[in-house]
Chains A and B, each alone.
Chain A
Amino acid sequence: ETGVTQTPRHLVMGMTNKKSLKCEQHLGHNAMYWYKQSAKKPLELMFVYSLEERVENNSVPSRFSPECPNSSHLFLHLHTLQPEDSALYLCASSQGFGGSKTQYFGPGTRLLVL
């Protein structure tokens, strides 16, 4: 596969469940991002990892826990979520961090919290 892939594409979970979203980039990039896209709000940056170190945490609740084990993989661990966390979660990657580095986006995971 090429580009940025995300699994699963769709996820339904209860508020007491624990699940993880996975993102993989095949572009040789070294920066990765998690975004949240809700139905009624603009796309919001959640986390940024550059060279496997978290460089940005945009005031995200602790029930969202990111993990970047290497430059190609990014996870978002979810636990005790709320219905308002239902959204499309998009992953992106870029070569380098800062400046005019274009971000390439994955197709997203559509999450529904019941």
Chain B
Amino acid sequence: KQEVTQIPAALSVPEGENLVLNCSFTDSAIYNLQWFRQDPGKGLTSLLLIQSSQREQTSGRLNASLDKSSGRSTLYIAASQPGDSATYLCAAKNNAGNMLTFGGGTRLMVKP
């Protein structure tokens, strides 16, 4: 059974810092790995999706990497802004079906 862990659970940084969020998964037979953002009281917004054959994906100030062999993914946020404050979730999709296994999330606070 796939298990996904995110460390740290919470992170507070000053504005302008570059930061890395970590995600680890136990079953390396994944189809893809996805990073989501969740704002308080709102649903999830997909940020980046990395296929199992890819090493990384970039969107603006966000860069996500994937290392299947070590069971790890990272989300790099460059030049953080207060508007980046949210909970970031990673989710692994295994090869069968469309089931996503989510990590517990990292709650990020970027202070002005």
- Interface size of B by Cβ–Cβ distance < 8 Å? 25
Mark out the residues of chain A between 18 and 39 whose CB falls within 8 Å of any chain B CB in the assembled complex: 31
Binds B, one of A60-68, A75-83, A98-106: A98-106
Contact, CB under 8 Å: A55 / B4: no
Closest chain-A Cβ to B68's Cβ sits at a distance in Å of 15
Give residues 56-112 of B contacting A (CB, 8 Å).
89, 91, 93, 97-105
Main secondary structure of the interface of B (DSSP, over half): strand
Which range contains the number of A residues in contact with the other chain? 20 to 34
A53 at the interface (CB under 8 A from B): no
**In the complex the two chains form, what is the Cα distance from A104 to B47 in whole Å?**
11
Asked if B45 is an interface residue, CB under 8 A from chain A, the answer is yes
- In contact, B45 and A105 (Cβ under 8 angstroms): yes
Q: Is A112 in the interface zone, CB < 8 Å from B?
A: no
Which residue of the partner chain, among A42, A99, A107, contacts B43 with CB atoms under 8 Å?
A107
Are A105 and B105 in contact, with the CB atoms below 8 A?
no
A48 part of interface (Cβ distance < 8 Å)? yes
A4 at the interface (CB under 8 A from B): yes
A37 to B: closest C-beta gap in Å: 9
Q: List 25 A-B contacts (CB under 8 A).
A: A6-B43, A41-B104, A42-B4, A42-B101, A42-B102, A42-B103, A43-B89, A45-B100, A48-B98, A55-B97, A90-B44, A92-B43, A92-B44, A94-B98, A97-B97, A97-B98, A100-B31, A100-B49, A101-B98, A102-B46, A105-B45, A107-B41, A108-B41, A108-B42, A110-B41
